[in-house]
Amino acid sequence: MSRKYKITRVEITGATPYLGHDRNGAPIRTKDPEQVMAWLCGAWRFRFNQHRSNRCRYLIGTTGSTGLLEPIGSMDRRSNADTRHDHDWIGAVPDLILTSTWMMERKEWAAAVERRRTNREHGRKPGRMPGFKRLRQGRRFTCMSNRGKGYRVVKYSRKHAEAIIGGTDPRGWRDDGARYQIHIHFRLSRPVPESTSIHVDWTHRTISFTAPIEPHHHQPTGAMVGVDVGVVHEAALSDGRLLDLPGKRLRHIENRINGLQRAQARCVRESPYDNTRDYLRKGPSNRYLRLRKQINRLNACKTRIITDWQHKTSRRLVDDHDLIVMEALQPANMSRKPRPQADPDRPDHWLPNGRNAKRALNRGMREASLGRFRTMVEYKSHAAGITFLAVNPAYTSQTCHKCGHVAAENRESQAVFHCHACHWEGNADVNAAINILDKGLRLNDPSGRDTSETRNRSVGPCGGQTDRTAAPSRRGAIIMPGGSRQ
């Protein structure tokens, strides 16, 4: 769990930090916040890349006929003291900032190795291993807490607080003292948690506090719900509710982005280059770069709106229910491009394959972030101690929850479901959500864990409606309506 705050200003107190030497060999000592923060970000990136320098080696052909590149090598073994001795410009960097690079590099590399293994097991592309941190990726650094030795937080008022990071100048460069302090003032929009580390993003002027997920006290309600996620409706619940993203705000931002992109296209047309690739290779205009920054800000704003909605909606779902069942979708497989279809009658010609329609659907799926929404519901369910199940989504959109009839013709359109056997008619997404809940209730695993067995278990087409008056708790008991246990 992390909480992000906006940095308002930075000030340096105590001794003047030693930032190294310039090209002429003169020492650089300054209390300018911009230079000091850029120096910390550069030192953190340098030390991180130093750890990774021995990682980026590969061995070919160790996985049989596939010939995949297998990462080998280990981390750089130089200590912080050795690095300070070899590069005096990071001699005054706080030790816990340099130590955080060791921890983050190991976690990032181990996660990438595990991700590649999982992708290979499921027949997907393994993906790349992470590389070096680059300046264009943003200026940022991390500082570990280590029980308050790395930094401390001071609250001044309801909306004002600061994080204080202490450092020491190396011997020989202590003209006005040895110790200095960096005061990072930020706007206190909500309480600061007991954190284990802080992440400073100097590019966007934000500071984030990382803390373990706190156990959430859940009041039993006895309610159960099946959730069907999609593009038109972000979530459809088995009780008939349809939960949608704030479409009006998102459409307004999308219209602004489209206007800026048209202005970018005019910049390319008015240039002497034939295409955008040559235009960018030779150097875009200042107007083009300004438009790109505005587009990036609007895209980031749109992402924040969607993420905020998903956090709030997932919290309400967890607070209001004791059992949540969702489909184990694979968004990466669902958003693949359609394969080209060759025309057998005309060589070097292709048949229509619905690529334009699929492109719009893929864009909507990426914007909806269905996998992220499910992850939010899952980890919040585990933190609250309620049951979360993920079931095979096969046939949930073609099965009538009343009689169990399965046919592709039952779904007349995206929104309308009409059973050809019992003639029940209603919303197709709500019908799918009810089938998802029925599948979850028939599972014998009450642990709530999204294991591979649960995710890949083939339960076949849904049958008739299952009794949904009781939900299995995490202890195997039955929670009856009203919160009583049996």
Question: What are the tens digits of pLDDT across the range 61-90?
Answer: 545 444 455 555 566 778 888 888 889 899
DSSP state of 136: G
> What ranges make up the beta strands (E) of 125-214?
140-144, 151-155, 160-168, 179-187, 197-201, 206-210
- Choice among 105, 169, 228, 322 that is catalytic: 228
- Choice among 76, 105, 234, 429 that is catalytic: 429
Q: How much is the average pLDDT of 229-247?
A: 89
- Choice among 327, 378, 438, 450 that is catalytic: 327
Determine if residue 325 is left, alpha or beta; phi over 0 gives left, psi from -120 to 50 gives alpha, anything else beta. beta
- Whether 438 sits among the annotated catalytic residues: the reply is no
DSSP state of 477: -
The pLDDT, as a whole number, for residue 463 is 45
* C-beta pairs of 345-351 under 8 Å, 24+ apart in sequence: none
Strand partners, 166: 181
- Whether 327 sits among the annotated catalytic residues: the reply is yes
The pLDDT, as a whole number, for residue 57 is 57
Q: How far apart, in whole angstroms, are the C-alpha atoms of residue 153 and residue 294?
A: 33
Model confidence, pTM: 0.73
The pLDDT, as a whole number, for residue 451 is 39
Query: Cβ(99)–Cβ(57) under 8 Å?
Result: no
Query: Cβ(193)–Cβ(211) under 8 Å?
Result: yes
The pLDDT, as a whole number, for residue 343 is 82
Mean pLDDT computed over every residue of the chain: 83
Q: Where are the alpha helices (DSSP H) in 87-167?
A: 95-121
Q: Are strands 179-187 and 160-168 parallel, antiparallel or unpaired?
A: antiparallel
- Whether 175 sits among the annotated catalytic residues: the reply is no
Q: How far apart, in whole angstroms, are the C-alpha atoms of residue 99 and residue 392?
A: 43
Query: Cβ(198)–Cβ(7) under 8 Å?
Result: no
Lowest mean pLDDT among 38-47, 59-68, 359-368, 427-436: 59-68
For residue 228, give the 3-state DSSP assignment.
strand
Q: How far apart, in whole angstroms, are the C-alpha atoms of residue 431 and residue 414?
A: 12
Give 193: exposed, middle or buried? Use CB within 10 Å, 0-12, 13-18, 19+: middle
CA dihedral 66, 69, 73, 74 (to 10 degrees): -100
